[in-house]
Structure 1
Amino acid sequence: MQLFIDLQVASANKNALPSLEIIEKWLLEAILKGSKTTRFEAELTVRIVDSAEIQQLNVQYRHKDKPTNVLSFPFNAPQGINLPLLGDIVICKQIVEQEALEQQKDLNAHWAHLLIHGSLHLLGYDHIIEQQALEMEDLETQILVKLGFPPPYNETE
């Protein structure tokens, strides 16, 4: 499988970001494990932003006037158009770092978790209904453990 990632860094602070190669490794594993069809190539955008941009997107698309950690925007091709585009993942650097600190998680593990979470949304997974949430969390855990990270969920989350 080939994965093409357009990495856009729109955060003012570019320190301590995972590299494109690492992001590609994490997302490739997620797409291979989470894809319900065999894909030979996939393309997506990862945009790393600051709190103000993600809050504006959260207001515009989810009607929630607050910043959030990650948003996913799946690409829905018009009928008859077959493109390998999965969509866009927008992730907030400050919130990833703040949550990792507050939850006492390794920063790379939290980056990986949120990017994998976002990519599963692009593949059609959701967590609105409890059974879907459990399926998505189980899949996230399997992917993260395979990548060498600890399980992301515990009893208090």
Structure 2
Amino acid sequence: MSQPELSLSLQFADPRHKALLPRHKVIRWIRSALELAGEITVRIVDAEEGRRLNAEFRAKDYATNVLTFDYSHEPVVVADLVICAEVVEREAQEQKIGIADHYAHMLVHGTLHAQGYDHEEDDEAEFMEARESEIMLALGFADPYQRAD
């Protein structure tokens, strides 16, 4: 099966992890979760921008790991993924995993959201998490939902 076409804009408002996110890896991680062609912007932000966007668009006054702004699901997936560097770094430390591994998960997670996957209801969450696990394992990462403490 051929991989979906992907037009990627990769932006670093917060450059602290730029070396962990080479373009070819970001493309690979996003494509692994894409079911159709995509036009995706990934913006790595600091906590201030992450908090502002989360407050403005979700009415939650804190920075979160990934925000997905999906504009079209088909025939082309068009979305912006905003990932907060500080939150990803903190969560990676808490989960005792590599920062790049957590970025890969957040890119897969955000890309699935961009295609309409959700986790608000239990059955949706179970389906989305199973899909994330399948993709992450196929990419050679650990299952993000089977953490050993």
TM over 0.5: yes
Number of positions where the alignment pairs a residue of Structure 1 with one of Structure 2: 145
The 1-side partners of 2:9 and 2:93 are apart by: 28
Bigger shift: 105-114 or 143-152?
105-114
Residue 51 of structure 1 pairs with residue 68 of structure 2: no
1:110 aligns with 2:96: no
* Distance in structure 1 (CA, Å) of the matches to 2:42 and 2:48: 17
TM-score (norm 2): 0.90
**Local SS of the residue matching 2:105:** helix
Q: Distance in 1 between matches of 2:147 and 2:44?
A: 29
Correspondent of 1:23 among 22, 26, 32: 26
Is the 2:50–2:64 Cα contact (8 Å) retained in structure 1?
A: yes
Instruction: Flag the structure with larger Rg.
Output: 1
Alignment correspondent of 2:80: 88
After superposition, where does 1:94-133 map in structure 2 within 5 Å? 94-133=86-125
RMSD: 1.9
Task: In structure 1, list runs of 5 or more residues that go unmatched.
Answer: none
Contact 2:88 2:102 in 1 (8 A): yes
Distance 1:136 1:83 in 2: 21
Which residue is equivalent to 2:8? Answer: 5
Unaligned runs of 5+ in 2: none
Offset, 1:139: 0.2
Q: Which amino acid aligns with 1:139?
A: R
Q: Does the 8 A contact of 2:12 with 2:18 survive in 1?
A: no
TM-score, structure 1 as length reference:
0.85
Cα drift, residue 83 of structure 1: 6.8
More helix by share: 2
Q: Which amino acid aligns with 1:145?
A: L
What SS class does the counterpart of residue 13 from structure 1 fall into?
helix
